[in-house]
Structure 1
Amino acid sequence: MSRRLQGYLLLSLAMMTVGTTVIASKLLAGAVPPFLATAARFALALPVLLLLLARSPVPWPRLGWRDRGLLVLQAAAGSVGYTVLLVSGLEHLPAADAGVIVGTLPAVSALFSVMVLKERPGLRLLASALLATVGVMAVAWQAPGQSSWVGVLYVLGAVFCESAFILLNKRMAQPLGALQQATAMVALGLLVSLPVALFELPVAMPSTVALAALAWYALVPTVGGFLLWYAGAARVSGSEAATLTAVAPLTAVALAAALLGDEVGLAQWLGAGAVVLAILILALPARLSGARWRLGRAGG
C-alpha cells in the first residue's frame, strides 16, 4: 500500500472517531457542563498518552516560539473549542441535526486549506471535494427541521474550530510526530479548559451512560483519533485531508440512526454514496486517473 493510500485509510478511521463525538456529546449534553466535560475528557486521556510517550524512542524536538503558539491555537480551537461548542449545541439539537451540520466540515476545511495553506487543488481534488459536499448536503436534505438556531450556531462554531485544528498543524515549521502532537494537544487542552471547568463545579453525579460517553470520548476520539489523524495527515496534503473529513458526518448520522433511533431516508443513503465516490476519486492514483482521462479523450 502506498504512503498516500495509508494516509487516506488513517484519516478515514480518524474521522469515524470524530463522528462518534456527536453521539457522545449528545449523551453528555445537559448531564455534564461543557468545560467540565472537556477538562475531564483530557484528564482521562492524558495519562494514557504520557505512558505511550514514555515508551516511545522518538525524541521531543526543540520548537520555536511560532510553533509553540500554533500548538496553543490548535489546542484552544480544535481540542477545547470543538468539544465545548458541540456539547453546548447538543443541548438544543438532536444528534442527527448536529451530524448534518458537521457535514459542512469538508467545505470549511477545504476553504481553510486554500486560504491559510495557500494550496491550489487540482481538478481531481476539486471534483472529489464537490462530491463530498453534495453527499453531506443530501444527508442534510431530509433531516429533522425543528433545530434551534442557538444550537445550529454552536455546532457551526464547532465546525470552524475543527477546521482550524485540522489545518493549522500544516503551518508548523517543525512538525511533531503523531504521538507527540496528540500529547501536546491533550495537555494544552487540559490547561486551557481547566480554569473555566473549576467554575462549573460542583455538579450532580452524572449517569452511568454519561460517564461511559465521557470515557469513550477520552479514549477513542481523543487518544485514538488524534494518533490516527496526525499519522494520516503527515502522508497527504491539507486539501486531501479536508476532503476525507466527509467521513465524520456520515458516521455521526449513521450512529444517530442506529443508537438513538433517528430515521435515515433515501436522501441520506444517496449522500453516503456520493461521499464514498468522492473518497474513491481522491484515492485514485494521479497517474492512473490521468491515463484514463487521456484514454477517454482518445476514444471520444
Structure 2
Amino acid sequence: MDSQRIIAGALMTIAMTLVGSGVVASKIIAGGMHPFPAVPLRFLISTPILWGLVFLTSTPRSRLLAKEYMIVMIQAAAGSAGYSILMILALTLTTSANASVIHGLLPVLAALVATLALKERLGAKLWIAVGAVTAGALLVNVASAKGFGLDLKLLAGNLLVVLAVSGEALFAILNKRISKPLAPLYLAALMSSISLVLTLPLTAALVAFSTVAAAPAALLATVYISIFPT
C-alpha cells in the first residue's frame, strides 16, 4: 500500500509539473496568438497522436452509455476546451506567476465539491491544506491592489484563472459519475477529439471576421502544450 501511495504521489507530481509548464506555455501563446485558433490547433495536433497511442498500445476502448458520453462531453467542454480558452484569455490580463498560484485552487475546489456532492469526508490535514492554498490565492489578489485602489486588469485575469480551474475541478468530479473505469489514454483521446470539434467553430468565426496572425514563439508553445500537458 505504501509503495502504491508513493507511485501515485510521484505520478501526481509529474502531472502537476506538466500542468504548470502549460501555464507558462499559455502565457507565451497569449502574447502572440488569439486563443480561438490556438486552442483548436492544440487539439488538432494532440488528437491524432493520442489515438495513435491508443491503437499502438491496444488500449481498451470501453463502450459508454449515452449519458456517459454526455458526461465526457461536459468534461471536455469544461475541463479541456473551456479551460484552455479561459487560461489564455486570463494570461493576457494577469501574470503566469499569479495564474500558477491560483491554479493551486484546483484541489480546493475539487475537495469542496467532493465533500458537498459526493459526501466524501476530509481529514484535518486536508482541511489545513485547503486553508493554505486558499490563503495563497487570496494573497495573490491582495498583492494585485495598487495603493488603496485595485488593478482591475489583474483582478479580471485572476478571476478568469479561477473560472478555468473550476472547469478542471468539474472534470475531476464528473469522472466519478462514469460507471465503468476508462483507460486514461482512451479518455484523453476522447476528450481531445470532442474538444477539437467544440472549438473549431470559434476559429471559423474568427477567420470570417478578422485576420488571424501568430508569432513563431506562440506556435512553438502551442505545439509544446499539445504534446506534453495535453
- Tell me the residue number matched to 2:140: 140
- Tell me the residue number matched to 1:211: 219
How far 1:207 sits from its partner (Å)? Answer: 1.7
Q: 1:58 to 1:100 in 2, by over 3 A?
A: closer
- Tell me the residue number matched to 1:186: 192
**In structure 1, what residue type is equivalent to 2:104?**
G
Alpha carbons 1:113, 1:119 under 8 Å: kept: yes
Aligned-residue Cα RMSD (Å) equals 2.2
What does the per-residue CA deviation read over 1:194-221, in whole Å, with 9 as the maximum and x for residues that have no partner? 1122111264442221111101110110
**In structure 1, what residue type is equivalent to 2:228?**
V
- Tell me the residue number matched to 1:249: none
3-state SS of paired residue (1:175): coil
- Tell me the residue number matched to 2:167: 161
- Tell me the residue number matched to 1:3: 4
**In structure 2, what residue type is equivalent to 1:9?**
A
Equivalent residues in 2 for 1:229-268, closer than 5 Å: none
How far 1:16 sits from its partner (Å)? Answer: 1.1
3-state SS of paired residue (2:219): helix
Alpha carbons 1:44, 1:218 under 8 Å: kept: yes
Q: 1:150 to 1:124 in 2, by over 3 A?
A: closer
**In structure 1, what residue type is equivalent to 2:93?**
H
1:196 corresponds to 2:202 = yes
Counterpart Cα distance in 2 of 1:43 and 1:205: 18
- Tell me the residue number matched to 2:120: 119
Alpha carbons 2:29, 2:218 under 8 Å: kept: yes
In structure 1, runs of 5+ residues without a counterpart are 223-300
Q: 1:30 to 1:74 in 2, by over 3 A?
A: same
Counterpart Cα distance in 2 of 1:211 and 1:41: 9
Counterpart Cα distance in 2 of 1:28 and 1:58: 32
Q: 1:68 to 1:204 in 2, by over 3 A?
A: closer
3-state SS of paired residue (1:109): helix
Counterpart Cα distance in 1 of 2:223 and 2:106: 25
Alpha carbons 2:59, 2:185 under 8 Å: kept: no
- Tell me the residue number matched to 2:148: none
Structure (1 or 2) with the larger CA radius of gyration: 1
Equivalent residues in 2 for 1:269-288, closer than 5 Å: none
- Tell me the residue number matched to 2:179: 173
Q: 1:139 to 1:6 in 2, by over 3 A?
A: farther
How far 1:68 sits from its partner (Å)? Answer: 0.8
How far 1:99 sits from its partner (Å)? Answer: 2.2
How far 1:106 sits from its partner (Å)? Answer: 2.6
- Tell me the residue number matched to 2:111: 110
**In structure 1, what residue type is equivalent to 2:191?**
M
Counterpart Cα distance in 1 of 2:194 and 2:131: 35
How far 1:46 sits from its partner (Å)? Answer: 1.0
How far 1:186 sits from its partner (Å)? Answer: 0.5
**In structure 2, what residue type is equivalent to 1:208?**
P
- Tell me the residue number matched to 2:228: 220
Alpha carbons 1:109, 1:167 under 8 Å: kept: yes
TM-score (ref. length: structure 1): 0.67
How far 1:167 sits from its partner (Å)? Answer: 2.2
Alpha carbons 2:81, 2:199 under 8 Å: kept: yes
Q: 1:45 to 1:143 in 2, by over 3 A?
A: farther
How far 1:118 sits from its partner (Å)? Answer: 2.2
Counterpart Cα distance in 2 of 1:174 and 1:123: 31
Counterpart Cα distance in 2 of 1:80 and 1:109: 19
Count of paired positions: 221
